[in-house]
Chain A
Amino acid sequence: MKLVVIGNGMVSYKFCEKLRAADPDRKFELVVFGEESRPAYDRVHLSSWFEGRAADDLLMADMEWYSANGITLHLSESISYVDPLNKTVSTHRGEQTSYDQLIIATGSSAFIPSVPGIEKEGVFIYRTIEDLEMISSWARRSRKAAVIGGGLLGLEAAKAMLDLGIEKTYVVEFAPRLMPRQIDQPGSFLLQSKLEALGLEIHTSKNTTAITGEREVDGLSFSDGSAISIDMLVISAGIKPRDELAKAAGLATGQRGGIVVNNQMQTSDPDIYAIGECALHEGMIYGLIAPGYEMADVLVKNLVAKMDGEEKLFSAPASFTGFDMSTKLKLIGVDVASFGDPFISGNGIKVIQYEDAIKGVYKRINLSADGKQLLGGILVGDATQYNMLLQTCKNKLVLPADPCDLILGARGGAEQSAAGLAGLPEDAMICSCENVSKAGICNAVTQQQCESIDAIKKCTKAGTGCGGCVPMIKDLLQYTMQSQGRYIRNIICEHFDYSRQEMFDLVKIHSLKSYDEVLDRFGKGDGCEICKPVVSSILASLWNEMILKKGNSTAQDSNDRFLANIQKGGTYSVVPRIPGGEITPDKLIVIGQIAKDFSLYTKITGGQRIDMFGAHLNDLPEIWGRLIAAGFESGHAYGKALRTVKSCVGSTWCRFGLHDSVSYAIRIEERYRGLRAPHKIKSAVSGCIRECAEAQSKDFGIIATEKGWNLYVCGNGGSKPQHALLLAQDLDSETCIKYIDRFLMFYIKTADPLTRTATWLNKMEGGIDYLRNVVVNDSLGMAEQWEMEMQVLVDSYACEWKEAIENPEIRKRFSHFINAPEEKDPTVKFEQLRDQKKAQEWK
């Protein structure tokens, strides 16, 4: 049987994937037409293209996948005509192809409002990678941009403007608030204030009457007489199902667009089907990916049943019966979620609302009149409870005595959530992208012996789509293992039945000095990429010996093994330490000269030092030899270790500075340089409360006061920014260092692998008060010992690059080919970028 699919978007791809999985003998001939030049890509994560993700990274599968699965894929070919009588389709080139069954998966196009001036240059839509390419090249000469549309896609587009470095971005929404279809007014207002804090200027209740400008857009004017001036405009005001082909072929379509389908995805012609955003089911167009996947699944089941004929004749056909539009997403870093019926009211419906204007959190749940059932709700600013709420709502679970617990959480503790999981019915849908139920996940744990998220992903595919259900899978994994009596300890990996903290103590008590000794004594098997770096880090934190000695070199994480960060293309980056960010002109010249001689790309890092990229493995010893001769030392940018101590210029130059922040930063950086820890550590010193060094975003940060220094701890930038908390005030320089010694040793001894100080504190019972008690009041009685141990580490510091280049055994490992040590990797390629080079894109 020959299937022809028109369109090659995400749903079309999913259809192909599911069909081939259900049809291993390839009884179906499958021909796909896509009008774009690329095979199907991940449109949901389109805006990540602006964050530097290459177009190819977004592909659902490459061309080889299609050919390997026996699928004929025609790209850059659009279908211009469907002839249902003769069962053929014609391409824009006039070539005809016949079909037995036709699947229309043409998706949607951007809805373009009819505003005068829409044709001007500098006006874009936000839909395909080509659109993004045009937007990004135009953005280079733009300072102000507007996005028309304050819905989901519009805000995505606004984020893209921020990522492109546009100075001023306006969001223009016709409705009185943002995301009117997903969230209610208080939620919407909170979202708006959060987005405004990020620099967006949001105009609601604005009816755009004209796009002004000569040839190019230069402004927008609105019906209330106001106007703004802009250099570019992105329109993202909704979608329009692409039903033109269906209409021309005489198929039934909806009044406002969309190809009418029944529960089997069949159109008014029994041999033609429609799936995805072009399909109109019970008066509804589904603009989300999960329902599209569900439609693909239903269609595959029905086509396969049809093919298999008689034996399945009596079973009911698979049906698409509408889809839950509950959704959780991150908009420009702000969590937004809605589930069930978010807006329901009246009829005695009880609504609980919680708003915290300080933290920027809004939560709403809607309960039935008797208060016993959760009907829906909205979360803005914090959506951690989304999965459990969604399941409670969908499965009509019994609510806690005080339904407030549902959104205020934590007060019931862990028992609550476990009880919640136990109460979920077996068929509760956990992963809606891949259609995996609670039973599916639990069976993977009990019968397939899956003991990790990765194992479950591999076994069931759950969590591999949008990834929103991964936290739920993790909870289910823990819950299932616990209920089976399989004890889950926080162990390192299959080779060590100990937590990191236990390992730390064991290695210390037994004075073990190499990975192999530790493995022989306390482990089993032959180690792996998880336990090797953990043990190596513990050894380094305890003994501070050169990490590449004692056979430990291959037990290091691969960056530590070569004392450099591997970068795209297989070259390395070189970062010498520049304490406090202070550097002499002579040293700057040395870096410049080295970068020139070895043709390295140079960039100032976020930590106030200079990174040189593109160094061949073979060149590292020579580069470092020259750096060390000029007085530099390793910056440990490759290690889970102290990175930098940033500083502002402080009282030596600044008219506001209270103390000499640079000198203090240098002192701190030189004290803790090379200190290895469970994760990287960053620090900063600011000379006054203006906080130019951003100390409150660091693992430990110091801010000058009139009387001394304030010490802040456990801050974090990165994907989940967290402000550091004040540990102690008005300290003199010596006491401040003592406290840092204690704080760091406590962290190094007790944190789980790869846990930053912020997460470590978040998991600590008693939080900052407990930590303050330990560090300042010495409640554990460890202060003196920790200070002593830190002093030992400080005194035993040596630059590991210096040792590496002076030791011929270590030095010879820095070559690419073992049988041609002089030769560099010939596959390394660079591309030109501005006046420097960059790594070649992933192939």
Chain B
Amino acid sequence: MIETKTITWFPACLVKDMPENGGACVRYGDSQIALFHFTRRNEWYATQNECPHRRQMALSRGMIGTSGDVPKVACPFHKKTFSLATGECLSGDECSLKTYPVKVENGWVYIGIDDEDE
């Protein structure tokens, strides 16, 4: 069966407002999305802002980096790390992050929300 998903792109912020090589939290309705600009790699990522370990709204404030070639974020609370690309926990836990697609157009950063997220 082929599933079709409609992706809604919503404008999150201006590129120039984002910190370099770090994250910021974006409000989308009642939910919070952590947006990351990995300037060194010229990459953008978005994940849920809540760390699933202790359910704290903090991932956007975490340090980012790489493990091998996997881009990752470390939660400020207990330094659990998660892949920015897949959301998988890299610290041996079973929990994982929801990730969102990101695109940049005309100086704006857009985060893609599929209809299941609505």
Residues of A within 8 A of B (CB): 454, 457-458, 494-495, 516, 525-529, 531-533, 551, 553-555, 557-559, 561-562, 566, 568-570, 813, 816-820, 823, 825-828, 842-843
Contact, CB under 8 Å: A528 / B72: yes
Contact, CB under 8 Å: A570 / B58: yes
11 CB < 8 A contacts A-B:
A528-B66, A528-B67, A532-B65, A558-B62, A566-B58, A569-B56, A817-B32, A819-B12, A827-B57, A842-B54, A843-B55
Among B64, B67, B68, B76, the residue within 8 A (CB) of A566 is B76
A229 to chain B, nearest CB (A): 44
Contact, CB under 8 Å: A562 / B26: no
Which residue of chain B is the closest to A65 with respect to CB atoms? B94
Q: Residues of A contacting B20 with CB < 8 Å?
A: 551, 554
Q: Residues of B contacting A525 with CB < 8 Å?
A: 66, 69
Q: A528-B66, A559-B76 are in contact. Are A454 and B25 (CB under 8 A)?
A: no
A555-B63, A568-B56, A842-B54 are known contacts; what are 9 more A-B pairs with Cβ within 8 Å?
Answer: A495-B66, A526-B66, A528-B74, A555-B21, A561-B61, A570-B58, A817-B26, A818-B24, A818-B25
Q: A528-B72, A816-B25, A817-B27 are in contact. Are A554 and B57 (CB under 8 A)?
A: no
Alpha-carbon separation in the docked complex, A817 to B61 (Å)? 11
Contact, CB under 8 Å: B56 / A570: yes
- Interface secondary structure of A, over-half rule: loop
Alpha-carbon separation in the docked complex, A566 to B77 (Å)? 7
**Cβ of B113 under 8 Å from chain A:** no
**Cβ of B13 under 8 Å from chain A:** yes
Which residue of chain B is the closest to A528 with respect to CB atoms? B65
Interface residues of B in 73-91 (CB under 8 A from A): 74, 76-77, 79, 81, 91
B96 to chain A, nearest CB (A): 13
B10 to chain A, nearest CB (A): 9
Q: Residues of B contacting A820 with CB < 8 Å?
A: 27
Alpha-carbon separation in the docked complex, A695 to B72 (Å)? 42
Closest 8 pairs (CB-CB, A-B)? A554-B22, A528-B65, A558-B76, A529-B74, A458-B92, A818-B24, A529-B63, A843-B55
B23 to chain A, nearest CB (A): 8
A631 to chain B, nearest CB (A): 30
Contact, CB under 8 Å: A527 / B25: no
Which residue of chain A is the closest to B71 with respect to CB atoms? A526
B50 to chain A, nearest CB (A): 8
Size bin of chain B's contact surface? 35 or more
Q: A529-B79, A529-B81, A827-B32 are in contact. Are A554 and B19 (CB under 8 A)?
A: yes
B72 to chain A, nearest CB (A): 7
Q: Residues of B contacting A516 with CB < 8 Å?
A: 21, 40
Contact, CB under 8 Å: A817 / B25: yes
Contact, CB under 8 Å: A818 / B63: no
Contact, CB under 8 Å: B19 / A553: yes
Q: Residues of A contacting B91 with CB < 8 Å?
A: 454
Contact, CB under 8 Å: A558 / B54: no
Q: Residues of B contacting A562 with CB < 8 Å?
A: 61
**Cβ of B35 under 8 Å from chain A:** yes
Alpha-carbon separation in the docked complex, A531 to B17 (Å)? 26
Alpha-carbon separation in the docked complex, A48 to B67 (Å)? 33
B94 to chain A, nearest CB (A): 8
Among A526, A551, A553, A819, the residue within 8 A (CB) of B26 is A819
Contact, CB under 8 Å: A818 / B56: no
Alpha-carbon separation in the docked complex, A149 to B41 (Å)? 62
Among A458, A526, A561, A843, the residue within 8 A (CB) of B54 is A843
Among B12, B57, B66, the residue within 8 A (CB) of A818 is B12
Contact, CB under 8 Å: B63 / A558: yes
A16 to chain B, nearest CB (A): 15
Q: Residues of B contacting A558 with CB < 8 Å?
A: 61-63, 76
Q: Residues of B contacting A559 with CB < 8 Å?
A: 76
A753 to chain B, nearest CB (A): 14
B90 to chain A, nearest CB (A): 9
Alpha-carbon separation in the docked complex, A680 to B40 (Å)? 30
Contact, CB under 8 Å: B61 / A842: no
Which residue of chain A is the closest to B41 with respect to CB atoms? A526
Q: Residues of A contacting B67 with CB < 8 Å?
A: 494, 528
Alpha-carbon separation in the docked complex, A454 to B79 (Å)? 13
Contact, CB under 8 Å: A527 / B54: no
Contact, CB under 8 Å: B74 / A818: no
Among B40, B57, B63, B76, the residue within 8 A (CB) of A825 is B57
A456 to chain B, nearest CB (A): 10
Q: Residues of B contacting A561 with CB < 8 Å?
A: 22, 61
A808 to chain B, nearest CB (A): 13
Which residue of chain B is the closest to A569 with respect to CB atoms? B56
A135 to chain B, nearest CB (A): 27
Alpha-carbon separation in the docked complex, A350 to B51 (Å)? 57
Contact, CB under 8 Å: A570 / B55: no
Q: Residues of B contacting A551 with CB < 8 Å?
A: 20-21
Contact, CB under 8 Å: A819 / B27: yes
Q: Residues of B contacting A457 with CB < 8 Å?
A: 92
Which residue of chain B is the closest to A826 with respect to CB atoms? B30
Q: Residues of B contacting A568 with CB < 8 Å?
A: 56
Q: Residues of A contacting B65 with CB < 8 Å?
A: 495, 526-529, 531-532
Q: A553-B22, A827-B32 are in contact. Are A566 and B61 (CB under 8 A)?
A: yes
Interface residues of B in 25-50 (CB under 8 A from A): 25-27, 30, 32, 35, 38, 40-41
